[in-house]
Amino acid sequence: MPQAPAALGDLMESALGRPARVLGVHEPAPGFLELELRAAAPPGGWRPGHEIQFRVTPTLGRRYTVRTVSGPDAEHIGVLAATHAEGPGTDWIRRLRPGTGTTVLTARHRPLREHGTRRLYLGDGCALGTIDAYARAGGDPVVTVEVPPDAVAPLTDRWPRYRFLPAGQAPGDALQSWLERAAAGGERAAAGGERAAAGGELAGLDGALLLGHARSIQRQRHALVAGRILPRRAVTTKPYWATGKQGL
C-alpha cells in the first residue's frame, strides 16, 4: 500500500484528484467487493485497465484497477477489490455505501505492455480486477487465478472461462503447481505427438501477464522461460505486494 507524508498526499490529491460518488457495492464472493462509481474522467477518458488510487488515511493510499467503463458519458467505472487481507485499506473500502462521496486519484491511462495475441494471465485475488480488464478484451486467453478457497465456487460461476485455484498456506504455491503440471503435460504431449489437456492450454501462447505477489511472479516467469514456453521478452510482470512489505 503506498505511503507518503500527509502534505505530499494533499499535493497529489490536488493535482490528480477526480470527484467520485459510489453508485453501488456488491460482494460477488467472500473476500471481494465490486464497486460502481461515477467519477469525473481524467484526460483521455476512462479505459479498462486504468490504474487509480484512493487515500484511505491521510498518509496511506490503496491502488486499484478500473475493470469496466460504462454510462452515457463513460463516467461509470467498475472496480473489483480484494478484501481478504486485513488492514486500513480493507477497513476503508468496507465502509463504503451507495451515495458515499470520495476522490479518485489518477492520470491519463497508460496500459500495461502486452505481447502477442494469445496470452496467459496469472495472478492472485488482488489482481483479478486487472486481469479481467485486460483478458476480456479479446483473443483466446488462458486465465488462472489463485484465490481464497471459499471464493473459488462463486467466482467460477461468475467467470466460467477462468480457472480459480484455492490458495494454500504459502502465496503462489497453487499457481506454481498448476503451471508446472501444465508445462510438463505439454512436454509429454509433444513427445508423444498428442495434445494433453493441461499442456494443450499452453500451446500456442505468444505472451503472458503475471501480476500479484512479487516472489511468485519471479517463479512463474522462470518456469515459462526455462520451460521454453515463452521467451523472456514476451512476459510482462507487475508486482502488487511482497511478503512483509508495504508500498508495492
Edge-first strand order for the sheet with 142-147 is 163-166, 142-147, 119-124, 207-213, 235-241
Using the predicted structure, report yes or no on whether residue 167 has a pLDDT greater than 90: yes
- The Cα 160–Cα 153 span in angstroms is 10
Using the predicted structure, report yes or no on whether residue 28 has a pLDDT greater than 50: yes
> Is the distance from CB of 106 to CB of 53 less than 8 angstroms?
yes
Using the predicted structure, report yes or no on whether residue 193 has a pLDDT greater than 50: no
Q: At what angle do helices 214-226 and 173-192 cross, to 10 degrees?
A: 10
Polymer length in residues for the chain? 248
Using the predicted structure, report yes or no on whether residue 242 has a pLDDT greater than 60: yes
pLDDT band at 186 (very low <50, low <70, confident <90, very high): low
- The Cα 52–Cα 128 span in angstroms is 15
The CATH number given to 119-241 is 3.40.50
Whole-number pLDDT of residue 183: 86
6-105: which CATH architecture? Answer: Beta Barrel (2.40)
- pLDDT-wise least confident of 43-57, 113-127, 184-198: 184-198
Predicted model pTM: 0.90
Instruction: Tell which wins on pLDDT, 243 or 83.
Output: 83
SS (H, E, C) the chain: CCECCHHHHHHHHHHHEEEEEEEEEEEEECCEEEEEEEECCCCCCCCCCCEEEEECCCCEEEEEEEEEEECCCCCEEEEEEECCCCCHHHHHHHCCCCCCEEEEECCCCCCCCCCCCCEEEEEEHHHHHHHHHHHCCCCCCEEEEEECHHHHHHHHHHCCCCEEEECCCCCCHHHHHHHHHHHHHHHHHHHHCCCCHHHHHHCCCCEEEEEEEHHHHHHHHHHHHHCCCCCHHHEEEEEEEECCECCC
Taking the domains of the chain in order of start, what are their residue ranges? 6-105, 119-241
Whole-number pLDDT of residue 198: 39
- The Cα 178–Cα 184 span in angstroms is 10
Average pLDDT, the chain: 90
Cell of 121: 494471465
